[in-house]
């Protein structure tokens, strides 16, 4: 298959010269791992100490990786991307809060986003994080089948009710709903809950999507078992496939607590695992739908090839490609220009609450993680093209 991802004119067609310069400056900065570590520590300190750093964050990382502080701010970006064939998934990226009030606020925000999506063709999916609906420790306790106190049972029932409310709203409004994956120690409980939702709302088509983190070596077996269950019980499977964003935390905890790490032994093993599940899903596409959330060009080609081999249309409604806003525009915009379904996660929220998300992005874009050199070379190529070099 010809390389379609090097067309920088298409990739950056929405970026003004100034925005392109900002992106260059930003990726140059986060290319440097020690700087990212120091910058993260200083920024966290400055925010906690109420120092006036929000303006600076907003003008740099925030505006590059986020659509704004609320959903209305995001509309102009959503419309501009859609004009180029790229859809959006509005992602309310407030993390790390564990009060009931906050869980209800996230529930209401998610319901609002489903309604928002219903009004806008450019937003085919809604999304939420399970930790937005309840405490991680409680998910863990439920997953480990530990006895809950009466108060915990009530708390868990509130989580179930939140899940059911958003999945029902998604079903009634015919909007697919992506459920993110986070730490592995909360995932067993999340998986069980999401299966209950699939049994209820995916009878006619995939509405509810779980997420498989393919840096975990046990996920293909999980999917195969789920497929057996889905066949028997008659529901469709919706899955977002990602590699996973919490690798260091996972490995550190496994060492600290003395259990085998759930993470694949190497990057290559994760890559193989990812492609193997893509293969499995495309071969079972009559009973499932896949949202391939990746910035990896090889996995993206792998899926494009699989679709071609299977004789599927490029815009087959069961197959979506996804990237994060501010990253891999060369993949997103060139996929769209070539007729594939593609959506970008567009995070939004108050600047200081979005910091954990921004820090993950900075960390995964350092030279060690390896994506930045490609971003930088794409941006450089586009600068040169615009200068007529």
Ligand X SMILES: Cc1cc2nc3c(=O)[nH]c(=O)nc-3n(C[C@H](O)[C@H](O)[C@H](O)COP(=O)(O)OP(=O)(O)OC[C@H]3O[C@@H](n4cnc5c(N)ncnc54)[C@H](O)[C@@H]3O)c2cc1C
**Under the rule (CB under 6 A), what is the footprint of ligand X?**
180-181, 211, 213, 215, 242-247, 263-264, 266-267, 270, 293-296, 322-324, 345, 364, 371
Q: Which is nearer to ligand X, 54 or 140 (CB)?
A: 140
CB of 217 to ligand X, least distance (A): 9
Cβ at position 73, least distance to ligand X in Å:
20
26 vs 264 by CB, closer to ligand X: 264
- Comparing CB distances to ligand X, the nearer of 85 and 244 is 244
Rounded Cα distance, 321 and 345, in Å:
11
Q: For ligand X, give the closer residue by CB, 46 or 254.
A: 254
Q: How far is the CB of 41 from ligand X (least distance, A)?
A: 21
Number of C-beta neighbours around residue 258 at 10 A: 6
**Residue 96 or residue 234: which is nearer to ligand X going by CB?**
96
User: What is the edge-to-edge ordering of all strands in the sheet holding 176-179?
Assistant: 87-92, 342-348, 319-324, 288-293, 237-242, 208-213, 176-179, 125-128
Taking the CA atoms of residue 181, residue 186, residue 189 and residue 192 in that order, the dihedral angle to the nearest 10 degrees is 20
CB of 324 to ligand X, least distance (A): 5
State the chain's maximal CA–CA distance in angstroms.
69
Q: Where are the alpha helices (DSSP H) in the chain?
A: 8-11, 17-30, 33-48, 54-57, 63-65, 71-83, 100-119, 136-143, 150-173, 184-201, 219-233, 247-257, 267-283, 297-309, 329-337, 355-364, 372-386
Q: Which is nearer to ligand X, 246 or 301 (CB)?
A: 246
Q: Which one, 125 or 201, has the nearer CB to ligand X?
A: 125
Which residue's CB comes closest to ligand X?
293
Q: How far is the CB of 292 from ligand X (least distance, A)?
A: 8
- Residue 239 DSSP class: E
* Six token digits for residue 373: 């050199």
Least gap, CB of 19 to ligand X (angstroms): 20
Least distance CB 267 / ligand X (angstroms): 4
| 131 in Cβ contact with 106 (< 8 Å) | no
């Amino acid at each position: 298959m010809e390389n379609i991802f090097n067309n920088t004119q298409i990739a950056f067609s929405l970026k003004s010269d100034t925005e392109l310069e900002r992106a260059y400056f930003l990726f140059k900065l986060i290319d440097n791992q020690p700087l990212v570590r120091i910058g993260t520590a200083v920024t966290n300190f400055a925010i906690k100490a109420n120092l006036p750093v929000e303006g600076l964050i907003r003008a740099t990382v925030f505006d590059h990786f986020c659509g704004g502080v609320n959903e209305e701010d995001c509309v102009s970006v959503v419309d501009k991307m859609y004009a180029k064939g790229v859809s959006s998934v509005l992602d309310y990226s407030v993390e790390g809060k564990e009060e009931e009030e906050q869980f209800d606020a996230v529930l209401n925000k998610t319901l609002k986003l489903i309604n928002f999506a219903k009004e806008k063709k450019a937003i085919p999916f809604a999304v939420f994080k399970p930790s937005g609906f309840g405490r991680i420790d409680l998910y863990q306790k439920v997953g480990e089948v530990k006895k809950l106190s009466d108060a915990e049972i009530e708390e868990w029932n509130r989580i179930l009710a939140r899940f059911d409310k958003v999945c029902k709203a998604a079903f009634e409004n015919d909007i697919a709903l992506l459920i993110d994956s986070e730490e592995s120690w909360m995932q067993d409980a999340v998986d069980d809950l999401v299966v209950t939702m699939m049994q209820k709302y995916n009878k006619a088509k995939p509405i509810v999507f779980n997420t498989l983190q393919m840096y975990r070596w046990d996920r293909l077996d999980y999917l195969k078992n789920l497929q057996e269950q889905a066949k028997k019980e008659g529901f469709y499977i919706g899955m977002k496939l990602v590699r996973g964003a919490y690798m260091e935390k996972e490995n550190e905890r496994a060492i600290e607590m003395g259990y085998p790490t759930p993470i694949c032994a190497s990057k290559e093993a994760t890559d193989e695992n990812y492609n193997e599940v893509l293969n499995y899903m495309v071969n079972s596409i009559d009973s499932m739908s896949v949202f391939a959330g990746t910035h990896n060009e090889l996995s993206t080609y792998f899926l494009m090839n699989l679709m071609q081999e299977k004789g599927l249309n490029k815009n087959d409604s069961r197959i979506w490609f996804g990237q994060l806003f501010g990253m891999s525009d060369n993949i997103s915009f060139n996929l769209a220009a070539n007729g594939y379904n593609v959506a970008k996660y567009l995070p939004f929220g108050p600047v200081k609450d979005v910091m954990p998300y921004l820090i993950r992005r900075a960390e995964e874009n350092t030279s060690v993680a390896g994506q930045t050199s490609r971003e930088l070379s794409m941006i450089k190529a586009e600068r040169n093209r615009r200068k007529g070099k």
